[in-house]
Amino acid sequence: MSNEFNIKNIAKLASINLSEEEQDSLSNDLSIILEHVNALSDLKLNSQQQEIFIHPLEKELELQEDEVVESLTHDEAISNAPESKDGKFVVPPSME
Amino acid sequence: MDASNLSIREINSLFTKKELKPSELYSKVFENAANSEAALHAHLTLFEEENIKKAAESDKRFSNGESTSLLDGIPIAIKDNINIKNYKTTCSSKMLSNYTSPYDATVIEKLKEQNTLFTGKTNLDEFAMGSSTENSAFGLTKNPWNTDYVPGGSSGGSAASVGARSSIAALGSDTGGSIRQPASFCGLVGFKPTYGTVSRFGLVAFASSLDQIGPITKTVDDSRIIFSSISGEDSRDATSVINNQLDIPSDNTATIGVIKELMEDGISDEAKNEVNKVVEILKSKGYKVKEISIPIIKLSISIYYLIAPAECSANLARFDGVRYGLRVDGNTSYEMMENTRAEGFGAEVKRRILLGTYALSAGYYDEYYGKALQARKEMIDEFAKTFKDIDYLISPTTPTQAFKSGEKTSNPLEMYMSDLCTIPANLAGLPAISIPTGLSKDELPLGVQVMSKPLSDNSLLDFSEIIENEVQFDGQPKGWL
């Protein structure tokens, strides 16, 4: 497995603005962790061809019926918004 | 006898016989909290005032002989990543320091139906990511046995609360050992049920295929009572399962396996001795005990630290400063999100989000996340094969006793290693329990973990109770009552 990574690029993908100091320390931490998880690359797997389930009990996830059920009210849903107006979330412009 | 030391069934018996009132016990646990909170910091919020009326209602039900629930009037603490309507849910993160939940988690709805009294919200590692409760944005929690040591994590506040008798029991969540490890470090029982048996609705998601809510209690029976109250299929959690329990023997016709890979290097002699002690007791009772090998267990940390961060990076994408939680201004929406996430998340959460983002990024997905999923599948298959001949698997819960505060904070990988024994049960969805069995030479608790096949939770609890009765661990931390 390859441990080449660009911390600035990963931080951009994760939408986290990292300071220079954080970039250095997190790069170092991630290298150590990735070196450890590389142990997986030596593993000879028997289950290569098998279907992979996300559910550990291998439950097949089903879609719910499209029915109206009780849920949060509009006011409740917006009650924690950092900024709202006329029942809508307010955000800074998406384009400059 | 101090009532806060009693089990749920003993307390219920005193309530029923009118020898103790729920309001008296409620006051007592807050007295205990007043004695210990400054030193331990188990809770982020305490609810005493709000629930005095509810305690009085419990008094009335018992006085009129109308109570029907074992949990009626029982003071229970809740980990602060589980939503209680109209209370804060902070996840010990600056990101959610002002978040008030508009709804109840399913487990909270169920406990309310039983007339449980909530005592407060307990401290945790931020978003349940950690093994020592040192990653909280709101300060450390200390181990009630010795405040130089960590209580474990991430449900360290829940364990410290029950340990210091500031609550009779607590709910925690367990993604890689976050119920069992703190329970073991604090001399308590910690039970992670089979994946899917307890609804995750209203639990703030960390790694959805691994997260599970469960109890931290003084006795196995207390865990049984709470598990039976909070379990059940829930349409609001697509991964929840019908709780059709398998019945496997718990008496001495059962076969026990000792996991070789969890009795080797990296496990302290003291931790191994506890397992050996339990094995000798079981042999003397006529149980058949075998050593078994599941080699892939050695890769648990590697598998887990790809899958859990990958899921965490997706789940925590919701904290973007738009709909709830912290917002730090920026000139554009994108800048605002980057600034919010930089300010709102602590170092460990950032570490895991970045690791997960990398593992899921283009060009690395198959190499990391895909491979980890395949290895996880292999581990599930290996456990299934093992459970054809073995009913219960025994190991240490933790490689060592509790470690000192600050001892592992500068070395994330070393911190991760403390979950070596507990992670396999999360990866395979198995029910697993930690039972306190003894004290180390430093007078700190040690525990033994027992796992069994999926959906055999009740049998696992029965078997664990036999161990509990035989071991007779009756230690408790001193100085808080």
Instruction: Please give the Cα distance from A48 to B37 (Å, whole number).
Output: 52
Report the pLDDT value the prediction gives residue B298, as an integer from 0 to 100: 94
Q: Which two tokens stand for residue B36?
A: 């210990």
Name which of A13, A41, A89 is nearest B323 (Cβ-Cβ).
Answer: A89
Name which of A72, A77, A82 is nearest B321 (Cβ-Cβ).
Answer: A82
Q: Give domain limits for chain B.
A: 12-251+400-471, 256-297+374-386, 299-365
Instruction: Please give the Cα distance from B220 to B7 (Å, whole number).
Output: 10
Listed by number, the residues of chain B in 342-371 with a beta carbon closer than 8 Å to a beta carbon of chain A are 342, 345, 347, 350-351, 353-355, 357-358, 361, 364, 367-368, 371
DSSP 3-state assignment of B116? coil
pLDDT by residue (tens digit) across B132-172? 999 999 999 999 999 999 999 999 999 999 999 999 999 99
pTM: 0.97
DSSP 3-state assignment of B114? coil
In chain B, % of residues over pLDDT 70: 100
Instruction: Please give the Cα distance from A42 to B360 (Å, whole number).
Output: 20
Catalytic residue among B132, B136, B178, B405: B178
Higher pLDDT, A46 or B288: B288
pLDDT by residue (tens digit) across B237-251? 999 999 899 999 999
Identify which of B298, B119, B216 has the alpha carbon closest to the alpha carbon of residue A39: B298
Distance from CA of B341 to the nearest CA of A (A): 5
Question: Does the pLDDT value for residue A49 go beyond 70?
Answer: no
Catalytic residue among B58, B67, B92, B154: B154
pLDDT by residue (tens digit) across B408-454? 999 999 999 999 999 999 999 999 999 999 999 999 999 999 999 99
Give chain B positions within 8 Å (CB) of A82. 321-322, 324-327
B91 touches chain A (CB under 8 A): no
Listed by number, the residues of chain B in 279-308 with a beta carbon closer than 8 Å to a beta carbon of chain A are 296, 299, 301-303, 305-306
Cβ B171 vs Cβ B80: under 8 Å = no
Q: Domain B12-251+400-471 adopts which CATH fold?
A: Amidase signature (AS) enzymes (3.90.1300)
Q: Domain A1-42 adopts which CATH fold?
A: Histone, subunit A (1.10.20)
ipTM of this model? 0.93
Q: Which residue of B has its CA nearest to A18?
A: B342
User: End-to-end alpha-carbon separation of chain A, Å?
Assistant: 40
Residue B451: how many CA atoms within 13 Å on its side-chain side? 29
pLDDT by residue (tens digit) across B181-200? 999 999 999 999 999 999 99
Report the pLDDT value the prediction gives residue B161, as an integer from 0 to 100: 98
